[in-house]
Amino acid sequence: MRLFHITKRLVPAILLLTVILSSCTKEEKVYELTAQLSNTTISASASSQFLNIQASDQWASSVTYTSGESGWLTLLPSSGTGNANAVLQYTENKSAADRVAQIKVTCGDKEVIITLTQQKAAVTPPPSNPALGWVEIPSGGTTADCEVVSHSITIDNKNVRNFSLMYDKKEKIAYWVAYPHHPSYLGSTGRTDNWQPDPKFASDIQPYYFSGISGFDRGHQIPSADRTVSFLANSQTFFFTNMTPQRGDLNQKLWANLEGQVRGWMSGCDTLYVVTGAILKTAGGNETISYATDDRGGKVAVPNYYYKVLLRLKGGNYDAIGFWYEHRSYGSGNATAAETKSIDQIEALTGFNFFANLPREKQDPAEAAWNPSAWNL
């Protein structure tokens, strides 16, 4: 009987201890994770896109190649904490087969797997060195630090060039960006703002412009509005190699107006060949080079001059005009005849031979002439 009373008194104590221990037990952490990719089937061209990651804690990624070649895909950064727009870069597929990769993102006990398919090369892509006869490609002016590359896209199931550029890997700017302009390059795609490194170059020889440039705009050389036929065509204009540190009061005013004028001239001819460039020093000049700072604190050369040279094919005939600007404000008006020069004059300033692949009997008279009124200037 006495034992019963002792046991009876112990039961409430045991229950109370159980409640206390239960209340001290740490609640299991709940993780949240989503990962989204705009395009899971991509063309054969080298390019990149953002992988949007929404994570409640630390996340990590991995890539598994399930079909075709391997090693063609990178994700930067490959891990992080919280939300991120990671840059998914992929190289050109030159093979005759599709290649497939699975991207896995994990956060705690959550994981998302995305399958990415890159289509096989529809046709033989443009050679890595585009000095093959394209009218718009300049010659000359190269140094040991410069490299010429070309980017391609698909229009109406045909692999075509988007633009080419000559990039200085030391100063981290392109001295020229050259491209054909035609209504086939225009469509309904809006501005993608897909800022990204150029997949044709190693990331450590490019500036990082995800957040901008200290004190300057990210000035396009081939404008976003000139390539609206597809997401890829427009995205490629946001490669960091296409950007220079450009004053906002030039980039957003006269320079933007000139880009609009160029699109107007394009609509009235068969094809317009455009070369846009940035110059640090004129040929034989001794100008001082200043530098801006990118996202990582790296130095990027600031151009002292900008130029555009245009070659118009209309009714079987060629004519040309050039524009030359110091890197300063010119106000908010349109480009005028006062800023124009002949192509020969701009060649003398830059050291380049523009439209070098045009037959001399057509090239020489077009480049020597200076007739702003023919361009409604």
| CATH code of the domain containing 339 | 3.40.570.10
Same domain for 160 and 283: yes
Same domain for 240 and 368: yes
Does residue 128 form part of some domain? no
Prediction pTM value: 0.69
Beta bridge partners of 42: 118
pLDDT at 68: 81
pLDDT tens for each residue of 233-261: 999 999 999 999 999 999 999 999 999 99
User: In terms of residue numbers, what domain contains 50?
Assistant: 33-118
CA distance 195 to 176: 19
pLDDT tens for each residue of 48-75: 888 989 999 999 999 999 888 888 888 8
The residue-averaged pLDDT of 108-129 equals 72
Strands 79-81 and 58-67: antiparallel
Q: pLDDT band for position 10 (50/70/90)?
A: low
Same domain for 335 and 206: yes
* Mean pLDDT, all residues of the chain: 89
The 3-state DSSP composition of the chain as helix, strand, coil percent (nearest 5) reads 20, 35, 40
Query: Which residue has better confidence, 113 or 127?
Result: 113
pLDDT at 86: 87
Flag the least confident range among 22-36, 140-154, 335-349. Answer: 22-36
CA distance 111 to 61: 9
Looking at the 3D structure of the chain, how many domains does it have? 2
Q: 35: part of which helix (H) or strand (E)?
A: strand 33-37
Same domain for 188 and 57: no
Same domain for 114 and 159: no
44 touches 68 (CB < 8 A): no
Same domain for 96 and 163: no
Whether residue 279 is predicted with pLDDT greater than 80 in this model: the reply is yes
Whether residue 197 is predicted with pLDDT greater than 50 in this model: the reply is yes
Does residue 21 form part of some domain? no
pLDDT at 179: 97
- What amino acid occupies position 15? L
**Nearest CA-CA partner of 174 in 215, 222, 214:** 222
pLDDT tens for each residue of 297-326: 999 999 999 999 999 999 889 999 999 999
Highest mean pLDDT among 17-26, 36-45, 362-371: 362-371
Give me the DSSP letters along 260-319: HHHHHHHHTSSEEEEEEEEESS-TT--PPPEEEE-TTS-EEEEPSEEEEEEEEEETTEEE
Q: pLDDT band for position 76 (50/70/90)?
A: confident
Burial class (CB in 10 A: 0-12, 13-18, 19+), 348: middle
Whether residue 123 is predicted with pLDDT greater than 50 in this model: the reply is no
pLDDT at 5: 53
Does residue 178 form part of some domain? yes
